[in-house]
Structure 1
Amino acid sequence: MAQEKRVKHLRQTLLWPVYLLPLDENAPLQDHWEHLATPSPDNPWSEVDDEFGDPSEFQARHYNEFVTFLPPVQRFLYGQGLGRSVTKVYGESPIRVMRRHDVRRARVTLAEGDVPIELGVVHVDLYFFFDIDIALLTLEVCADDLPLDTAQNLLFRFGRAYPAYWEQDSGRGGHCPWKVEWLDADGQVLATSDYENREKYLSFVCRHRAPTTASHWEFLMSPLVLHHADKKGLVRYRQLEYYRMPYMAYLALDRADTLARSDSIRLALGNEAGGEAATLPYSDNYLADFEQRYCYDRNFSAGGGQKAASVRFLASGDTLVVTGDAADEFYACAQTGILARFRHQHFLMFMIAHFQKAALHMFSDRLVGAVSRLDITNPKANRVFRRDIRNAHENFLRFAHRYWFHHISHQAQVHELFEKTRGHLRLDDLYSEVREELQDMGSFLDVEAMRKQNETVVRLTVVTTFGLVGTVTTGFIGMNLFDWTQQPTLWRVLSFLAVFLPTFFLTLYTVVKSRRLSDFLDSLSDETVTWGRRWRALMRVWFGTPGP
């Protein structure tokens, strides 16, 4: 009988991006994190202190993390100090991190009747970004000494925001754990999942045409409130991703060399355990280039024999998994080894890629909403549309220059993993789509502005043309053909009004009829137009209908 494969240490970091709704529709910038900055009984979040505050507490790990990234990315992640005037150009980091400490453990039951798995909760953080209405919920959990099959099923089922379906026989949420419980430091249950409550999910989608979230994730996000929920809350969010959350996983195996190809495939693509090691989850044709597409094997060697030769990275975009031998000190070191890099450098790399994806989805969603509210016959709707598109252009410009990176590091491992992750997420294609949508809407606004400008010019031209009558009249009076200087004042005032009032009303009339008068002038100046058509054009000016 083959020896059971075991995971000596497991880490999973879930990343859940959500779209934050504006607090004020008219405000160009939204500071959502300010409403979570003060802890209270209803708000368990508090801001994480900057690690760059006290030099005496600044560790080598922090330094290693910092120098991994290129200077533009360093300014994005950490900002710059204000010790010299030149650094005031960049200022502090545009990232704000909130953390809650009440959830200390998670108890996960994968299937009915299974022994619950106790997970230690390392961090529960919320990442906010200046000028981008995105929040990233990050949850890092850990466990020791699990069978590999159990670890695979845990990675597959744990990060589910809501069920995709329900199993016919048991009513269990499809692909979801049987139960998830958040525990505090004393082991008291803070929240429990409700994947099996099918009526809740069905009625919510029926009423709101949007999915709701499981109760334990809803608790973890509080006091943030799902947009369509009936609960009150100032900071509200909408979902951007589908029900499965992107995640990172670190597996320290008892013997990494026993990991089969089918195991690597299931870990890379986020599949559940498959039983027989030789059974592939997909066809041979589909998996023919698996190693090239999903595996990062810069140092991996199936035969071992060198430092970190058992370390293998698996990247599919929505997952980033690293496997290695628990007996390898470099792999298991939490200060300078692969585990430290996984929790810090690799996490930041993964976070940047998914933040960019979420931000682009947010821009696309915002543009769809702006177009949906557009009504070209409604002047107020037009003004709101112009304001929304102008704000979107402004925000996208800042995003493109502050948050958009093709390269984040010259260190080969981070650089190449970032490239592989970006490729699977198709970030460049998504960026091009959003940029083209913005350009199309900007072009529409330019065309509308030119159309209104042309209409104004036409109106002024018509008014000027027909105003020649009044100009000639007043000029005629001013030529002194009649000596009215000796006439009484009342006579002269009445004479002025006799010319001014008809000229004034004629000018108003030409403004009102300027569009029709423009058509009449066009037909009058066109030598190919018959006099009958010219006559009908004149009738349209007077009566608004074709003449006889």
Structure 2
Amino acid sequence: MNESRLIRHFRQILLWPLQLEVQSSNEELGNPWGILERGDSPWSRVECDVSNDPIESQERQYKEFVAFLPYVQRFLYGESRSRGGRPDDAPSDSPMLAFRRRDVTGLRITLRPGDTPILLNVAHVDLHFFFDIDVVFLKVEIQADDLPWDTALELLHRFGRAYPSGWDETGQGVHNAYRTEWLGANGEVLATSDSENREKFLSFVCEHRAPCIASHWAFLLRPLVLEHADEAGAVRYRQLEYHRMPVMAYLALDDPRSLTPEDFIHLGLINAFRPGDTLPLRDPVVAEFEARYCDDRYWTVSDSGPNTRVMCTGNTLMVVGDARSRYFRNEVHGLLAQFRHQFLLLFLIAHFHRAALLVFSDRMVDAINDLDIRDAKSQLRFRKRIRDTFEAFLRFTHRYWFHELSERAQLQGLFQRSSAHLGNDAKYQDVKEEMRDMSQYLESDTQRRQSNTVVRLTVVTTFGLIGTVAAGFLGMNLIAAADAPFGAKLGYFLAVLLTASALTLFTVAKSKPLSDFLEALAEGRVGIGVAVSLLRRVRRDPGGTGGSRAGR
């Protein structure tokens, strides 16, 4: 074994964005994370209280906190109010909540049939929720020591796939790991993958037109349940993007300079090319790999160092460095601490931006698909959904959307690189334009309704004016009933009331053709014959919708 290519310390972090949906029959839950706070849930909320932590932990979290700009700090950690503030100005919790399950402590994974299983430690299994946004992130962090380079590449390539993308001639899933097992504290198997169960995945897609999640990932997410799964669940999730989860990796080697350019390309583009495959050298992502994806400000290729290279492609963020460097390996003061915290948060924020924008776009598509312009209830439901989505988008823009998160050049550079490769700015503009189109449609629809109402009121008033003037001119004494019995007076009153009501309702029903008739007279460009024909159309038009303005 080549010792220079042996990874002395390996970390892999998966971030899986999912869209949430609370079932209408379980709205009493309130927020979707309410189901995780029940007594039978394996999840517990991660509280941001470091007052009782060791001083080293407090220092590490302090460095994480001050690495970000104030508005990002408020987004990540919330804020407390000063003592001199208003009494009603209460402290603000963080818009991001984290839950952790501690029963999963190990991972045993067999990459290919016949391979020796690899045992890794599970550092964290977390769920991250966000106020006002129906998105949750599953975060899984694993670690190991003394992994061969080729094994680490295979692990990065195969671990982190929500379901198999296909099967080989033996019926085994391709690209994913052959067997994955979550282990408990005593080494017991908690859940096992089922990628070889081809019938399960095929039948699920045929029935629901949606992919089925592998059993070991479904286990981690419970009590959250897949959208179309048969099992009961108050909160369901569905896939937002490609089945390959965004991945971060930290690799500490004795001599990172021994890696070839092809090694770095295979690592950085681990989602695009299988380890060992011949690289397409004319492909722009390969030919321009260093310029596009590498942050080499600390890559000196010298004995004195530092020799740390960071690669970011949007869906991957890889850190390679010297295992002999105490700073690179330090979990409190060094780059390992930054990778697990500052780098993780900037990667999470970039992917959260994209996931939230995809959710907004999906909401609008779903609202359009559900719209039936012939159904009044459907129209009302559509307007409410669009307005709710527009309000949520405004809150997202002012609470979560930002382009700068740190004054530190490397953090800011990696965040910009991640956002650019994910296409967040372009996606934001697309969603914003879609929102504007929807808003303009609602405004024009409201104006159309108001205009129709004004037309009807104008027609009713105009024709009612005739009766009002006639009755006023005659002095309201057409029938001398002052001394008539009460029954006769009541009869006259009801007769007039019914007649006036019928005429008013008829005028409202025929307001459109009557409006055309009045407009034709007002313009003065039609003769008596055309005006009479327009008036006759009132009787022929059963729906009161009128036709084209033939008099023009």
Q: Is the aligned partner of 1:16 residue 2:13?
A: no
Q: Distance in 1 between matches of 2:483 and 2:42?
A: 91
Contact conserved, 1:28 with 1:391, CA < 8 A, in 2?
A: no
Shift in CA distance, 236/506, structure 1 to aligned 2, threshold 3 Å: same
Shift in CA distance, 531/95, structure 1 to aligned 2, threshold 3 Å: same
Q: For residue 447 of structure 1, what is the aligned residue in structure 2?
A: 444
- Equivalent residue runs for 1:114-513 within 5 Å: 114-167=115-168, 169-271=169-271, 274-275=275-276, 280-283=279-282, 286-306=285-305, 309-478=306-475, 499-513=496-510
Query: Secondary structure of the equivalent of 1:21?
Result: strand
* Paired amino acid for 2:250: Y
Deviations 1:166-197 (A, max 9, x none): 12x32221210111011111111111111111
Contact conserved, 1:75 with 1:90, CA < 8 A, in 2?
A: no
Aligned-residue offset at 1:520:
2.3
Query: Secondary structure of the equivalent of 1:164?
Result: coil
Query: Secondary structure of the equivalent of 1:59?
Result: helix
Shift in CA distance, 190/165, structure 1 to aligned 2, threshold 3 Å: same
Shift in CA distance, 28/424, structure 1 to aligned 2, threshold 3 Å: farther
Contact conserved, 2:252 with 2:323, CA < 8 A, in 1?
A: yes
Aligned-residue offset at 1:346:
0.6
Q: Distance in 1 between matches of 2:441 and 2:102?
A: 49
Q: Is the aligned partner of 1:45 residue 2:46?
A: no
Contact conserved, 1:30 with 1:131, CA < 8 A, in 2?
A: no
* Paired amino acid for 1:175: H
Q: Aligned residues: percent identity?
A: 50
Shift in CA distance, 274/230, structure 1 to aligned 2, threshold 3 Å: closer
Q: Distance in 1 between matches of 2:84 and 2:29?
A: 26
Contact conserved, 2:80 with 2:90, CA < 8 A, in 1?
A: no
Aligned-residue offset at 1:284:
6.0
Q: Distance in 1 between matches of 2:476 and 2:97?
A: 77
Q: Is the aligned partner of 1:97 residue 2:98?
A: yes
After TM superposition, the structure 1 stretch with the greater mean CA deviation from structure 2, 532-541 or 226-235, is 532-541
After TM superposition, the structure 1 stretch with the greater mean CA deviation from structure 2, 172-181 or 515-524, is 515-524
Deviations 1:450-473 (A, max 9, x none): 000000000001001110122023
Q: For residue 73 of structure 2, what is the aligned residue in structure 1?
A: 74
Q: Distance in 1 between matches of 2:395 and 2:26?
A: 18
Q: Distance in 2 between matches of 1:68 and 1:241?
A: 30
Contact conserved, 1:98 with 1:126, CA < 8 A, in 2?
A: yes
Shift in CA distance, 56/81, structure 1 to aligned 2, threshold 3 Å: farther
The TM-score, its normalising length taken from structure 1, stands at 0.92
CA RMSD of aligned residues (A): 2.6
Deviations 1:131-164 (A, max 9, x none): 1111100000001111101101100110000111
What number of residue pairs does the alignment pair up? Answer: 540
Q: Is the aligned partner of 1:62 residue 2:54?
A: no
* Paired amino acid for 1:33: W
Contact conserved, 1:10 with 1:250, CA < 8 A, in 2?
A: yes
Contact conserved, 2:122 with 2:143, CA < 8 A, in 1?
A: yes
Deviations 1:265-309 (A, max 9, x none): 111111566449xx5354365433211100001121123424xx2
Q: For residue 518 of structure 1, what is the aligned residue in structure 2?
A: 515
Shift in CA distance, 81/481, structure 1 to aligned 2, threshold 3 Å: closer
The TM-score, its normalising length taken from structure 2, stands at 0.92
Aligned-residue offset at 1:51:
3.0
Contact conserved, 1:150 with 1:273, CA < 8 A, in 2?
A: no
Q: Distance in 1 between matches of 2:206 and 2:67?
A: 48
After TM superposition, the structure 1 stretch with the greater mean CA deviation from structure 2, 310-319 or 489-498, is 489-498
Q: Distance in 1 between matches of 2:349 and 2:52?
A: 26
Q: Distance in 2 between matches of 1:266 and 1:118?
A: 23
Contact conserved, 2:104 with 2:183, CA < 8 A, in 1?
A: yes
Deviations 1:189-215 (A, max 9, x none): 111111111111111111000001101
Aligned-residue offset at 1:63:
0.5
Deviations 1:76-102 (A, max 9, x none): 000012453649466111111111111
Q: Distance in 2 between matches of 1:474 and 1:313?
A: 90
Gaps of 5+ in 2: 548-552
Q: Distance in 2 between matches of 1:392 and 1:53?
A: 39
* Paired amino acid for 2:80: G
Gaps of 5+ in 1: none
Query: Secondary structure of the equivalent of 1:287?
Result: helix
Q: Distance in 2 between matches of 1:31 and 1:190?
A: 28
Shift in CA distance, 21/2, structure 1 to aligned 2, threshold 3 Å: closer
Contact conserved, 1:108 with 1:118, CA < 8 A, in 2?
A: yes
Q: Distance in 1 between matches of 2:538 and 2:311?
A: 74
Contact conserved, 1:470 with 1:503, CA < 8 A, in 2?
A: no
Q: Distance in 1 between matches of 2:118 and 2:38?
A: 34
Shift in CA distance, 484/185, structure 1 to aligned 2, threshold 3 Å: closer
Contact conserved, 2:280 with 2:286, CA < 8 A, in 1?
A: no
Aligned-residue offset at 1:246:
0.1
Contact conserved, 1:300 with 1:311, CA < 8 A, in 2?
A: yes
Q: Distance in 1 between matches of 2:97 and 2:218?
A: 21
